[in-house]
Structure 1
Amino acid sequence: MNLRLLILVIMCLTEVAFVLWVYLKGQRSIIKWLFTAFVLSVALWTLGNYLVYTYVNIFLGYLTFAAATWIALSFLLFSKVFPEGKFPSLKQDKLTSSFILLGVLFTILSFTSTIVKSASLSPEGILQSQYGPAHPWFGIYFLASISYALGLLAYKWRRSKGLNRVQIQFIFLGVLFSASGATTTNLLIPLFFHTSRYSVYGPYFGVILIGFIAHAIVRYRFMNIRLVIRKGTVVALSALLAAGVVLTLLYLLSYSGHFRFPTPTYIFFGIGILAAAFLIVPLRSAIQTLLDRYFYRSHYDYYHTIEEASRKLSSFLDLDLLLDYILRAVQRAMAIEWAAVYLATDEGYRLEQAVQALEPHRLPSELPDPLTGSLRKQQDVLVREEIRRFRSDPKVLDTMEEIGCEMAVPLVVQKQLVGAFLLGPKRSGDAYFSEDISLLTALSGQAAVAIHNAQLYRKMRWMKEYSESILKNMQGGVVTVDADQKIVVFNPAAERLTGRPAKEVLGKPLSVIDKGIAEPLREALEEGKVYTHREGMLNDHTPPVPIIFSTSLLHDPSGRHGAVMVFSDLSYVRRLEQERSLAERMVLVGTMAAELAHEIKNPLVSIRTFAELLPERHEDPEFRRYFQEVALKELDRINALIAQLSETARPPSFQKEPINLREVLEYTLMLVEERAKKSGVHIVRNYEPDLPQVIGEATRMRQLLLNLLYNALEAMPEGGTLTVSAARGDGTWDGYVEVRIRDTGKGVPKDKLDRVFEPFFSTKEGGMGLGLTICRRIVRDFKGDLQLKNNPDGRGVTACVRLPILAREEVIGAIGTDPHRTS
């Protein structure tokens, strides 16, 4: 047999075996169907070329042209559906429909004499074909189909990204190169030069096509095919290479004509076999290395990898850098497609980081519940192949298959699942072996501790920054000392309050700072004595600065302790208190002066009246006697009021006593009841049962309530309703009794409501404007609150008095009597 024809047979068988292997791998799809049809058409065309040269039969020529038609048509349809997998609608795609109809037509014409009429061999063994009238049209159809298909692939290549783009690129190049060569030898040369001399070489270009497709499968998972290269494959390739060497030598020997069968054949056959035997071991090793590198097979030193990882893991404190190193180290060592790490959060296990070798792999943002439960329960590696083989957990298997995960490795610290590694398939297609699982198990233990430490470091750093921010922005000074009484914290506020920069005192003993700070801290360290809201002085200032401070002990696990002091400047508070006291005194003096003026006016009127009558009735002894009595009495009254002014220049003190508020209310209502009846005012009472007692002074309490009741009655000269209620307060006023006095009068204008408590301000004609001022002063003396608001319905106002409730123990301590005593 001619060696060239033998090669054609080998190529045909190789193409058939290749396409059957591709067809049987993975899931069936229209892409795989059309690809199979395309490669089988190439194999049939290759076989047809061999048979035509061997048997010189015109039917075989017909079959060869039919196969060429199918090559063009199947490749065009394949280009239409790849990589989307969707077949176009023939009703809408008229051009594709036309190519299909022409393909059917030329298939029929291939079995007639319209394309090829006859075929024969010349004495030199060269094929001589006589072509029919349709041969040029067949050539145009073939070139148009291939060109249109390549144009489609080029268009899709420009619009694609990632893995699809690379796959289209290699299919395009494989078909372009192989079709260019085969079209030249088997179509263009016969068409223009009317010779089939070079047709035998056309099928050889199929090697280029198979090479590009195989490369796309191996490197870029063309049609999602994963290729697993095992040791037997390496040995077979080595044997084929050795056989190729032997065949080449035999061909060269036969071609030289110096040797004839059978002797030379056996000699060189023996030499070839010996050469193959000597070459098989080094060839196997070399090919194994090249294939491992080409097919992403990795070999790693187990102990060296563990040692290097241990050294590196202990050097990382930043969590992000640590996770990146771990994932990339695992990916490099095992040549996996992707790796991801999930870490525990309050809500679950969140995707923290991932590395990917090829196109981005979509991973869930949270670790799926089946994986979480299984890892937490077993705390052992989950391998998808083992789960599938033993059918141990269908839910876990479905979850791993859904996200494309081959292995899940738990991260456990103190028997708690703190995270997990998810690993994708190896790029070589190999399974994870026991050595891989052992390495990952060892790495996961160290990685878990390192990740846990990095998380603690991140939290500690965050807490440190948080604490420093608080200390920096605090208005109060903070000073902390350790167990050796050395200053370790001295915040900016402490610098400002003491006048000492931190760099002068940090690391120094307590004696270098003000005694007002040093002594409380020393007492805390030596005696365990702590203070809360204690007043003190900073004596290094002139004049000394009053402060309020608190101290506390700080303990560490070793039993040693430090102390901290927080202090604030009281100077501003003291100034405010003095200014408030002065303001209150001034208001009080003004109020008392107005009260006295009000009270003195009436006696002076009486004296003036008698003085005006004196000239007329001077001789009347009875008048003179009566005038003397009235004048002296009124002057005594004025003198008493002046004495009161001199004695009450500050808010008067009073003796604390428990007050039964219900009794005081009833007493004051009794005093105003007659006046209310005359004015046509109806009084409504609304008391809460079991009203608690309040603290106060009975006389001033009556004065307060009488003033408020008289104001309410004066606001209703034509009658109305006076509602008096008393109940416990709630919310902000919990711990108080609220007394509400509500009238239905004309109310107070909104623009004047805020001024009703000002001295000498009155909304009544001829009023002195002192009543509510005095009422507010009394309430404040009782540590209560007084508010006046217009009613929501617009009729009248409500005066709300809030008086503090005192506990039984406080009342007994204050007055030394039974708190149930009434006034």
Structure 2
Amino acid sequence: MVAQLVLLVFSFAALLLLGAFVSIHAFGRAATKAFLFVCFSTSAWVLCNILVYALQRPVLIEWTGRFAFAVGSWPFAFVLFFFLSFPSRHPVLARNWVCLAIFLPAGILSLLALTDLIQESVGFSASGVPHPVYGPLHKLYAGVLSAYALASLSVPVLTLKKVTDPLQKAQLRLLLAGVGTAGAGVALLQLFFPAVTGTRQLPGVAPALATIFVGFAAYAIVKYRFLDIVVVIRRVIIAGCTFCGISLFLYFSVTAILKLSGTLSPSDVIGWSVTAAIAGAFLLPILNRLVQRALDRAIFLGYYTYHRELNSFARRISTIYDLGVLEKALSTDLKRIMGTISCRLFILAGKRHLESLPAEKKTAVEFFASQAARDPEVVISYEVKAKLGPRLYEPWLRYFELLEATIVVPLNDKGGLVGLLALGEKHNKEPFSVQEVDFLSVLAPQLAVVIRNSLLYHELAAMNNYMETMLEQMTCGVLTVDPGLKLVTINHAARRLLNTPPNNSSHDLGAMSPEIGKILQAALESREPVHGVEVTVDNREGAVFTVSVSATPLTGPDGDLVGVLAVLTDLTQIKQLEAEVRRVERLATVGTLAAGVAHEIKNPLVSLKTFAQLLPQKYDDPEFRTSFSQIASAEIERINSLVEQLLRFARPPKPIAVPIDVHEPLEGTLSLLATEFTKKNIFV
């Protein structure tokens, strides 16, 4: 009787706590009021049974028992009303007579229970435990309660066939599991055995079983994400098998110790007992893992395979660095594993991904992104509907439909929101379990890191491609070498100058071009830049280039020398242009010189021509002939002197300084120009 009394007290406290818990966490919902009536009526039923065991006077026990029967009819009525109100209000409740039909039989039974028609009196067993003596209408009482139980079971069963909302399906299944468990116990202990045997088996235990249903109902009201029933069954079986295994181990250990106790001292018995207990403690986790592994492969193979595929998928995506591959893995593998209709990834870190979406879908993504900024938790459509109600849920429904999603997972990392993962409803229309939502919550930051790394990888690849394109299109040769003068990178212009094949990873620059190798080696040794050193490079195909080499040592983050960057500027064309300029300048100089020589030669020839023209007229003039002879000789000498000067210019001799009479060149010049002066009436 003590065990029964403890169980009833525990059930009474649990019912009150469950009622308070639901009132706090689900305040304002229509189903909460119906649930509270279930809790309070059941707790009153349990309290009456507690008083039956606690009281001593037979009269008080008899009337308390009658009150227990009177109160006991109301939980059944309130359970039926609760099923019509949860998870959604049944349209039949809009009719007033339905509520009357639900509660009137319970009220009549309560009045009858206060007479001796249902409980005639109270009897006591040999051990002093009270039990009721049933009256003539007890079978009617049992029949009405059975009708209540049958109606309570039929309502969720019929509703389950019609409902399409995944959350409501899960809630109805939980309620059926709870009412089935509690109803089976109540039917056996409170109805079946009394009706068949005329006695009450395990009195007082039946009301306590109602706590099981109340617990299931509270879980269904407050929670929106439920444990997979397979997970619950699996955990119970694993725990039971582990408990049985450890119990057998301890049993055989104790049996062996007891058999040997006759040959062992008391201290040895205690020592072996402690050893067996310690061994059992160490074996407990090992046995638990072995049982779990065996059951997963033998009984729960589907569950085991499902979660193994999820874990394998999570490990595999961590190695992906391409967004296209990641999107394909999500839209095919994750969609297949979780059994959803669709799976889409929306990336927010890169604007170009968001800009490529249609306007309406972009609006939906931005809406969920704003929600994720306020609350980074997973958003599930039927949870939002249950929390907000149908009217406030309408805008959300539109955005869920635009993304073809039932569940939207924000992908956050330290840098903020990276993207959204949108999964459609399951093919079997089932809700997402707690384990699946937890998996997606754990997967979300991993996906965010993968997306961020992929974007960074693409940025680096684009930058690297840009740098390679820029280097390849540069007219200057650019190359880098390691400290051993092995080529690391080289562009097209440098390959042309050095005649290097495309595969340059094993080439030694010092062997290919010793001149350039010496310059780079000097930069390595001095750790100082080298600028504009001109060298001649033979590319081993007969082409010779004049190259200006600039080298800069390269150091790593820790200051160690990692190589040299060299810039090779091809000066060959510049040198050719410079030579051409010098040739043109020489030709221009020769032209200027020729013009000056022609002018200098022309002047004496003009004088000779003038005297030659006057010679026929003044041949008989001795003075003229003398002057002609002197001037002609002087002009011819002048021409000869000019030619000798040209020869000296071509092969300049050492200069010899001699004194001269300045009058001689002046008089000679006047003599040459005398005829011209005469024609122009110039007198000197």
Bin for the TM-score computed over the shorter chain = 0.3 to 0.5
TM-score by length of 1: 0.36
Greater percentage in helix: 2
Structure with more relative contact order (C-alpha pairs < 8 Å, separation 6 or more): 2
